[in-house]
Amino acid sequence: MANKDAPFGFRAVGELGSSIQNGGTSKYLIASGETDVIYKGDVVTLETAGTITVSGNTTTANIGVFNGCFYNDPTTQKPTWKNYYPGSITPTVGNIEAFVYDDPNMLFEVQANGTLAQTAVGDNCDQVYAAGSTINGASKSELGSVAGGTAQFRVVRISEDPDNSDISSANSNWIVRFNEHLYYNNAAGV
């Protein structure tokens, strides 16, 4: 049976080992006026200014996965929560607070943009960034093909999603963890 082609970015599903799962996020700032749009499920990176932005396809200073933001809307002057950061927001009061799954041991479910075989388990893959949806705020980033060396993510296993676990066809869902993360295994820094 063919898998559904419906990418959703990176979805937090647990953590390596048997620790307590709380799905916790940490708070970071998005620079006032940041032009990049950041969708729920997008991989984000820490900039030298100490703020976050959307990560590129092969960025090594990943900080985690975006899970929404809070700011005072400059037009309505009302506190606003959004699943995604729409870009070019300059609040007149306060900061733009981003909530990020930043634990380097966290596991994420993500759709492959092609076909990955069972032999991909243990290998590394980069993300394939795609702009998300402004209707529901969800990312459309996917997992790329197996990289020959280091890459952003390590493949842990096939997902147990019954609609997207056919590894013989494209768009199967996989469980991954960060391989290149600012707080783990990364000498580059920001």
pLDDT digits (tens, 9 = 90+) for 98-152: 999 998 889 999 999 999 999 999 999 999 999 999 999 999 999 999 987 889 9
Q: In this predicted structure, what is the pLDDT of residue 21?
A: 63
Contact by Cβ (8 Å): 163, 3: yes
Q: In this predicted structure, what is the pLDDT of residue 1?
A: 66
Task: Please give the full DSSP string across 3-39, using - where no structure is assigned.
Answer: PP------EEEEESTTPPP----EEEEE-TT--S-B-
Q: In this predicted structure, what is the pLDDT of residue 9?
A: 86
Q: In this predicted structure, what is the pLDDT of residue 20?
A: 57
Reported pTM: 0.89
Low-confidence ranges of the chain (pLDDT < 70): 1, 15-23, 185-190
Contact by Cβ (8 Å): 106, 12: yes
